[in-house]
Structure 1
Amino acid sequence: MRHDPASAAVIVMLRGLKMYGMAGAASDLIEQGAPAFANAVPILSQLLKAEMAEREVRSIAYQMKAARFPAYKDLAGFDFAASEVNEAMVRQLHRCDFIDGAHNVVAVGGPGTGKTHIATA
């Protein structure tokens, strides 16, 4: 049986979703050269991509709820012109490079300067 990248991707997605039984069965079908499986690969691939995206959305929603952020914020909604905040520094911090170096970020300022908005974003 020749190597089919689409079928291999389906196996990877099944394992990524912790569907090991289905991944094993799909591997067997690939080895057998089952034409029905080969025809189903594009549909199965789309379904698995949708499931992975849905799980990612639910995971982010759960993590946001668990973090107890006051509300969803992003940098697109922050008005840098109305604040004295250094936009370049905030954009650099948004890349989270400081995490790799195990550094802390401390936001200091008076009320209404955007500390919570930036930290949440």
Structure 2
Amino acid sequence: MSVNPVEEQIRLYAKQLKIPTFGDYNEILRRMKPDSKLEDILLELMKSEGIQRQENQNRRRLKAAQFPYQKTLDELDLSRYDGSITKMFLNELASCKFITEKKNIVMIGNPGRGKTHLSIGLGLKACSQGLNVLFKNAAALSTELTEARDNYTLGRLENRIQKSDLLILDELSYISFNRHQSELLFKVVSERSERGSVIVTTNLPFSQWTDLFENTTMVAALVDRLTFKSYVLDMNGESYRLEQTMKSH
């Protein structure tokens, strides 16, 4: 089969100009009517390029978010929350308006109540709307911050965290943080105050956060930062994962 030099040049320029969809213009032409006008073909090419770029950007955002897994809001069983989280309220959160308004969400509940699921679902929604999300397990982040400080790369890590539109701090519970870890976590949350949104999931009420941090004064300040302009969701009740397991037997 002979090579069409014009097609080769189109592909070459499409690659150089970073518009790969134009290089595959034959696929678009096959979908168009034979009598399509040139501007209609050009418009279709531009639409396809725009869609492809959006998909690529969303894939990059999902990768950068570092979600441990993906769970959508549609998979969340709202009947488990006895009306404390309604469909209307969930839709309000899913609009991600709380992020543009730089509000926080604190989810408090027993293990297995779907806190991580809900936070990831909201994170996925944010990514789909072009927002930058960063998901971090609280204990893992405290270790990462400490190691970055010791390796003199703390500023770089903190900048990456602060550049996110939404920081999800998962499982602020289970282990205690020493003074250095507490100070580093507190700094991360404090610097986001009114500059970006934070979602925190925890199985401990605020009154028990003193079990996590050595400095009680810092705990009070941390709670103040997180609860200023925030939604506090009480998700306590019987374990969602436990009931799902019981139903499967």
Q: TM-score, normalised by structure 1?
A: 0.60
Query: Which residue of the partner structure matches residue 54 of structure 2?
Result: 56
Deviations 1:28-73 (A, max 9, x none): xxxxxxxxxx931111111111111111111111101111112222
Distance in 2 (CA, whole Å) between partners of 1:41 and 1:72 is 40
Say if 1:83 and 1:114, in contact at 8 Å, map to a contact too.
no
Query: Which residue of the partner structure matches residue 200 of structure 2?
Result: none
Structure 1, gaps ≥5 residues long:
1-16, 20-37
Say if 1:109 and 1:115, in contact at 8 Å, map to a contact too.
yes
AA in 1 matched with 2:47: K
Say if 1:90 and 1:118, in contact at 8 Å, map to a contact too.
no
Distance in 2 (CA, whole Å) between partners of 1:107 and 1:18 is 43
In the TM superposition, 1:61-80 aligns within 5 A as: 61-80=59-78
Distance in 1 (CA, whole Å) between partners of 2:70 and 2:49 is 24
Query: Which residue of the partner structure matches residue 98 of structure 1?
Result: 98
Larger % of helix: which?
1
1:39 aligns with 2:37: yes
State the SS of the aligned residue for 2:111. Answer: coil
Q: Percent identity over the alignment?
A: 33
Distance in 2 (CA, whole Å) between partners of 1:47 and 1:73 is 33
Q: TM-score, normalised by structure 2?
A: 0.31
In the TM superposition, 1:14-33 aligns within 5 A as: none
Query: Which residue of the partner structure matches residue 86 of structure 1?
Result: 85
Say if 1:69 and 1:120, in contact at 8 Å, map to a contact too.
yes
Structure 2, gaps ≥5 residues long:
1-16, 20-35, 122-249
Deviation at 1:83, TM superposition (A): 4.1
Q: Which runs of 4+ in 1 moved over 3 A?
A: 82-85
Distance in 1 (CA, whole Å) between partners of 2:37 and 2:65 is 44
Distance in 2 (CA, whole Å) between partners of 1:18 and 1:105 is 39
